[in-house]
């Protein structure tokens, strides 16, 4: 829950959707071949992802335990938003419905106390105000196992005020909307006549018809050649050279699409999936699963009391020095009410 995110931030630990402390530099450097020609988005801004069978997960040196074992999955054809949902698109939804996001609602004392260990004193009332977690980096090196060094709960932060009061989205209409919870993303998807992608659909689409490649673009390392995605350039979290053109989020479609014509499947912002997150789920998937929808409930061994949803794709905060969340197989998770300044979504639709 959102209150628990605040609690973990106060502790200086994390169970959030920030880049995990999973360092690992991709070893392959050669360009790959075999991408399909990028499809043009239709009049609704969606592209067709043709169905097929693929090997989901990873078994190489970069693979984390929850990405294993590799297993065969079949997905039917579907339509997917060519890019992440933008501020302009989300604003149209809010204007049409009057929807209020999770980050714009105050936290009740009951919600906060339920997130704290039994016997905890009541927190300061300032932590009950509406707000969200904002990337607030230091200007010097810090331990990479203490996310409180670069995250701060900011009262008044929301999709309309990404950095808090005084900030706005003017001029950022084509940037991905952020500070949206899974519940917010679900509400938008229903309004748009769409849905959130399953984790299997997301990974299949991210691969862009490439087989066995670690990235949406192939095998070339993130910091080699031309910029391929909006990620962290330099020393995280205090020095960003902006080699890719951006310090934080950037406009959608700023880089070349993958083989299916999908933009920003790596970097920029993490993206919500429909599935619950279970660290052991891949070992439980039936052989040759057809359109798997994930586990029946969530399980995070690092935080078994809180069920979480899957997020995918990495963000502008990911780097090969600190994490490699932009790998097509990389999994992350957070609670459904979480909102962060590096977390957004895109939608899919049955064909």
Give residue 47's Cα distance to chain centre.
20
pTM value?
A: 0.89
Domains of the chain: 23-100+173-351 (3.90.1580.10)
Q: What percent of the chain has pLDDT over 90?
A: 76
CA atoms within 13 A on the CB side of 195: 12
Beta strands in 143-268 (DSSP E): 151-155, 234-235, 239-240
Report how far residue 300's alpha carbon sits from residue 276's, in angstroms, rounded to the nearest whole number.
Answer: 10
List of residues 6+ apart from 92 with CB closer than 8 A: none
**Listed residue (198, 202, 186, 150) closest to 341, CA to CA:** 150
Whether residue 187 is predicted with pLDDT greater than 50 in this model: the reply is yes
Longest dimension (CA), the chain: 59
Q: In this prediction, what percent of the chain has a pLDDT beyond 70?
A: 88
Decide if 121 contacts 113 (C-beta within 8 A). Answer: no
| H-type alpha helices, 104-251 | 109-115, 182-191, 199-207
Q: How far apart are CA 264 and CA 251, in angstroms?
A: 10
pLDDT digits (tens, 9 = 90+) for 81-139: 999 999 999 999 999 999 999 999 998 887 777 777 788 888 777 778 899 999 999 99
Mean pLDDT taken over the chain? 89
Q: Helices (DSSP H) in the chain: which residue ranges?
A: 2-11, 87-97, 109-115, 182-191, 199-207
């Amino acid at each position: 829950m959102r209150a628990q995110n605040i609690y973990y931030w106060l502790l200086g630990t994390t169970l959030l959707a920030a880049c995990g402390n999973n360092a690992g530099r991709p070893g392959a450097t050669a360009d790959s071949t075999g991408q399909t020609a990028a499809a043009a988005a239709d009049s609704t801004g969606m592209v067709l992802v043709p169905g097929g069978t693929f090997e989901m997960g990873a078994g190489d040196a970069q693979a984390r335990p929850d990405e294993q074992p590799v297993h065969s999955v079949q997905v039917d054809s579907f339509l997917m938003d060519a890019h992440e949902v933008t501020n302009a698109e989300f604003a149209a939804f809010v204007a049409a419905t009057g929807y209020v996001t999770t980050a714009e609602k105050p936290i009740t004392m009951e919600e906060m106390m339920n997130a704290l260990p039994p016997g905890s004193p009541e927190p300061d009332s300032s932590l009950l105000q509406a707000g969200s977690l904002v990337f607030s980096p230091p200007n010097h090196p810090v331990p990479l196992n203490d996310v409180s060094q670069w995250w701060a709960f900011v009262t008044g932060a929301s999709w309309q005020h990404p950095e808090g009061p005084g900030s706005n989205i003017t001029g950022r209409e084509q940037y991905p909307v952020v500070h949206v919870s899974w519940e917010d993303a679900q509400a938008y998807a229903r309004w748009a006549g769409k849905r959130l992608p399953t984790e299997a659909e997301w990974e299949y689409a991210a691969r862009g018809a490439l087989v066995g490649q670690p990235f949406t673009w192939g095998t070339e390392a993130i910091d080699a050649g031309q910029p391929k995605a909006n990620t962290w350039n330099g020393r995280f979290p205090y020095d960003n050279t902006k080699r890719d053109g951006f310090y934080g989020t950037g406009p959608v479609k700023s880089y070349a699409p993958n083989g299916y014509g999908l933009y920003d499947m790596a970097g920029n912002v993490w993206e919500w999936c429909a599935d619950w997150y279970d660290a052991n789920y891949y070992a439980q998937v039936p052989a040759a699963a057809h359109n798997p929808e994930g586990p029946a409930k969530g399980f995070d061994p690092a935080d078994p009391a809180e069920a979480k949803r899957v997020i995918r794709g990495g963000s502008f905060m990911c780097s090969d020095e600190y994490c490699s969340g932009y790998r097509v197989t990389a999994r992350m998770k957070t609670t459904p009410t979480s909102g962060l300044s590096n977390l957004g979504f895109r939608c899919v639709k049955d064909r």
